[in-house]
Amino acid sequence: MFDAQLLGAASERYAAFTDATAHPINIALNHGAPPESTPVDFGYEFEGAVLRAFSSGIRFDGVKNQYALDSLLRIFLSWKLLEHQGFLLHAATVIRNGKAYIFTGRSGAGKTTVATLSPEGSVLTDEISLLRREGGVWRAYGTPFWGEFKAAGSNSSAPVAGIFRLLQAPENRVVPLRPMAILRTLLPNVLFFSAEQESTRRLLEILSRAANEINGYNLSFRKNATFWEVLPA
């Protein structure tokens, strides 16, 4: 099956994220099954669409729409990041003074509100943030996975200033969190799909490291831009 419309939409959506690496991953979309002898590194099925990752690239088969492709790409990325000290987090990321402020919380906590209240061009993502430890420094990246904000994805990164757990309140206030509380904040908001033990261990190791090395806070905030005044520089 070849779907020119789906391919065109996907190419446009992910264009900013396809050319920035020295080792690009080959992606085949709805080209039929690969030879059965090819060993699969990772596989996942979502609503009839199948993702298979090989050493030579990844294949998506049975993908009927952009939504399914987007979901499978998130799943693939969450798995791939395990070997790169990284993870995907339900969070909005905003760049301020060259640093990434990460705002996490469940649906309705205010991620999109924060993105909307931030200056144009400063929002890396309003929905799915990518955090990765590189050379001893945690950096946040934009992803093509956007929520209600619906702006174009930004393929850029910045060192992490802190992770802020959003709590809507009548006044703005930040309270520092201990590493255990940061881990407790991260876990329910991390995107992860593998039921495999070794992958889960690896993820927990990465998250524990993040909880120990990244400053984390509870952020009570009013639904206006004044919350920036209480954030640590």
Partner 1 sequence: MSTPASMTWQKNPALAWREIDDETVIISPNDSVMHELNDTGSFLWKNIDGKKSAAELAELLAENYEVTPDVALSDTQALLEEMSSRKLVVTVPATGGVSP
Residue closer to partner 1 by CB (options 64, 184) is: 184
Residue 214 near residue 162 (C-beta atoms within 8 A)? yes
The least CB distance from residue 83 to partner 1, in Å, is 17
Residue 232 near residue 215 (C-beta atoms within 8 A)? yes
Measured CA to CA, the distance from residue 110 to residue 113 in angstroms comes to 5
Is 83 near partner 1 (CB under 8 A)? Answer: no
The dihedrals phi and psi of 153, each to the nearest 5 degrees, come to -65, 150
Residue closer to partner 1 by CB (options 38, 212) is: 212
Residue closer to partner 1 by CB (options 161, 203) is: 203
Q: At what angle do helices 179-186 and 197-213 cross, to 10 degrees?
A: 130
Quote the Cα angle for 154-159-165, to 5°.
85
Site residues (CB under 8 A) for partner 1, limited to 163-202: 178-180, 183-184, 187-188, 192, 194-197, 199-201
Among 204, 225, 230, 231, binds partner 1 (CB under 8 A): 204
Which residues sit at the interface with partner 1, rule CB under 8 A? 178-180, 183-184, 187-188, 192, 194-197, 199-201, 203-205, 207-208, 211-212
